[in-house]
Amino acid sequence: MFWRVRGYGRKGVAFQAISAVDIGLWDLKAKAFGVPLYRLLIPYTERVPVYGSGGWTNLSESELVAEQMGYVERGFPRIKMKVARDFGRAEGEDVRRLAAVRRAAGDGVELYVDANNGYYAPQAIGMSRRFEDYGVAWFEEPVLADDIEGLRAVSLATTIPVATGEHEYTKYGFKDLIARGGADIVQPDIGRVRDVTEWMKVAALAHAFNLPVAPHAVQLVHLHCAMATPNLKVVEYLGVAERNDRFFSTEVPEPVDGWWAPYPDRPGLGLELDPAVVKRHAVP
């Protein structure tokens, strides 16, 4: 499949389609062996740390604080919110919203910010220095994902680690990103890097550079890969994805006090589609 689509774009929807097929095949392989997927990958640990992710810029300040505190009240000791509102045209508001979340959460909660490519490099450097006052633990995608030099400049100018990688699609792209100093925390997305094997290669590449891995989204699959990743930092737990996961699946594993683990006795990904949902939403 890789060789058939290589001429149509090695970054984008074709690779995402391959990823979906490959994840399904790994699920079937683990089921054929009668073991959870993470057992096939040789687990490094029996549970992984997670953080509550959301903090969308379309939320009002009060809605933002309520959402972030919802994670804290569920026992998440780590949370993430968005910055770069209006693509970097609301710097003061970004800082005020961050300050509001920090006040509500207190100093004992680890807090990450995600700009979703919304700043340009000199602006991101200035913002990172303001974010330092609020104990921000990582600055995600401060500039456009393809601007590796900009990412490196931000990384060198601030004490906050730069996290990025969700928009990269190949191990070769990650090689350039890492070797050129564009990432302090590497964030591969298994829905984009083509397959489970490729994701594990990217994680190993980051390990060779002594960099931690914090996967982006696709949480129910990343949970299994993360169990076999010695340089794992933390797994993202998206509230919007949680709603979808619970909608489509009969049951999903629950995080407890900031830790998460797959079902140890269910083969494959350990998930089953809810037949009633499938029937209700099937297209004739």
Task: Output Rg (C-alpha) for the chain, integer angstroms.
Answer: 19
Tokens of 107: 């100093």
| Active-site residue, from 11, 29, 80, 82 | 82
CB 47 within 8 A of CB 214: no
| Active-site residue, from 216, 222, 224, 233 | 216
For helices 196-208 and 171-179, angle between their N-to-C axes, nearest 10 degrees: 20
For residue 257, the Cα-to-chain-centroid distance in whole angstroms is 19
d(CA 47, CA 45): 6
Q: Are strands 48-53 and 259-260 parallel, antiparallel or unpaired?
A: antiparallel
- Alpha-helical regions (H) of 6-108: 13-33, 37-40, 61-73, 91-105
CB 243 within 8 A of CB 218: no
CB 186 within 8 A of CB 211: yes
d(CA 154, CA 149): 9
d(CA 261, CA 48): 6
Is 216 catalytic? The answer is yes
d(CA 129, CA 142): 12
Q: Which residues are catalytic?
A: 82, 216
